Amino acid sequence: MSNFNIAVLDGDGIGPEVIKQGIKVLNQIAYKFGHKFRFTFAPVGAVAIDETGNPLPEETLDLCKRSDAIFFGSIGHPRFDNDPTAKVRPEQGLLRLRKELGLYANLRPVAGYKELTHLSPLRPERMEGVDMLIVRELTGGIYFGEKGRRDGGDTAFDTCLYTRPEIQRIVKMGFEAAGKRRGKLMLVDKANVMESSRLWREVTREMAADYPAIELGFMFVDNAAMQLILNPAQFDVIVTSNMFGDILSDASSVLAGSLGLLPSSSVGSKVGMFEPIHGSWPEGAGQDRANPVATILSAAMMLDHLGLVKEGDAIRAAVNATLESGVGTEDLNPKKKVGTEEMGDLIAGAIG
């Protein structure tokens, strides 16, 4: 039996209701395998701005630092999106959390479900064998480089900066992940244009000598965007910079048929953070319509990271069994849909 302290940052929009299902499933795991999970909730995002004026209050950050893992819902609210003058934004909370905790690697697995191939925007034959992992750098690049305005505000700039150690640690994670999978690593960059991308290539080529068993490839990001649609099965592990990874992971996330299916983990230091890839879907909030699967699978990634791999497998098996039985939230099965709560109940029930 093990004890774990889990910080729960459920955030905005549908965050709280999908997180609730994740906790339901985790409680079932605790019961079945004899563990103890202690969940402590803390505000982040727009909710935190409303309560405290700060998208990442210090108490929330402190809680995260002393927890064993962070279970994260989603953040964002439309009232900030079209207001370029907003001084504080929910997203700043997430970015600061990643930076402060040293979560430099974001892992986003993308795989198709056989029974859901009909939902994919791609023809079924193109979805065959799709199983990839996007390893996205998360605490550097253009997200965190110097940015600002000049000329009285009429010139704006964002800098994409990467150091050799920053590249080495994320590329290492890419090589290692490839070693545990099908042995293929693709570096996606824009080395025909960007100096920072040329450094990524240089460093990755040097490191390749330590991983002779890995088949290494290079691809420009514009081509990669096209290849992800034309022939997604060619990819095993993709390693890429912060912004390219942001864009490509959203694009690949819909291949499986719904954005509501895909989990992610952000790791790099002691505490990892686990969250669905999707956003806060404010229009759907509080209506029992959101798909909790991405969040529940993120809980499985959290258990893997805590060393509870058979427990993580039990969650994945329960999700598979539930999806195979043909039930789903409205994004999966509009004819025979179930709500968020019921989907959570079914998956928790399938754990036994």
Residues forming contacts to ligand IPM in the complex (CB under 6 A) are 76, 91, 94-95, 246
Stretch that binds Mg ion, among 48-56, 137-145, 238-246, 264-272 (CB under 5 A): 238-246
Q: Residue 94 binds which one of Mg ion, ligand IPM, none, with CB within 5 to 8 A depending on kind?
A: ligand IPM
* Minimum gap (Å) between residue 306 Cβ and Mg ion: 25
Q: Residue 285 binds which one of ligand IPM, Mg ion, none, with CB within 5 to 8 A depending on kind?
A: none
Identity of the residue, 94 or 188, whose beta carbon is nearer to ligand IPM in the bound complex: 94
Identity of the residue, 44 or 186, whose beta carbon is nearer to ligand IPM in the bound complex: 44
As a whole number of Å, the end-to-end CA separation of the chain is 18
**Which DSSP category does 194 fall into?**
-
Q: Considering 10, 12, 236, 246, which one is annotated as catalytic?
A: 246
Which residues partner with 136 through β-bridges? 106, 240
Tokens 């709560």, located at residue: 341
- Of 246, 275, 304, 311, the residue at the interface with Mg ion (CB under 5 A) is 246
Q: How far apart are CA 115 and CA 297, in angstroms?
A: 17
Identity of the residue, 194 or 247, whose beta carbon is nearer to Mg ion in the bound complex: 247
Whole-Å CA distances, 286 to 50, 125, 283, 327: 18, 37, 9, 21
Identity of the residue, 91 or 342, whose beta carbon is nearer to ligand IPM in the bound complex: 91
> Quick check: is 83 catalytic?
no
Count of C-beta atoms within a 10 Å radius of residue 115: 16
Neighbouring residues of 349: CB distance < 8 A, sequence distance ≥ 6? none
Which residue is nearest to ligand IPM, using beta carbons?
91
Measured at the CA of 214, the angle between CA 210 and CA 215, to 5 degrees, comes to 125
> Quick check: is 189 catalytic?
no
Q: Residue 327 binds which one of Mg ion, ligand IPM, none, with CB within 5 to 8 A depending on kind?
A: none
Packed helices 340-351 and 309-324: angle between N→C axes, nearest 10 degrees: 120
Identity of the residue, 246 or 330, whose beta carbon is nearer to ligand IPM in the bound complex: 246
Q: Considering 113, 162, 190, 211, which one is annotated as catalytic?
A: 190
Tokens 């545990």, located at residue: 180
Closest CA to 263 of 207, 305, 204: 305
- The answer to whether the CB of 269 falls within 8 A of the CB of 206 is no
> Quick check: is 250 catalytic?
yes
- The answer to whether the CB of 48 falls within 8 A of the CB of 12 is no
* Minimum gap (Å) between residue 213 Cβ and Mg ion: 32
Q: Considering 250, 288, 337, 345, which one is annotated as catalytic?
A: 250
> Quick check: is 345 catalytic?
no
* Minimum gap (Å) between residue 277 Cβ and Mg ion: 7
> Quick check: is 222 catalytic?
yes
- Kindly state whether residue 236 participates in binding Mg ion, applying the rule CB under 5 A: no
**Which residue numbers are catalytic?**
143, 190, 222, 246, 250
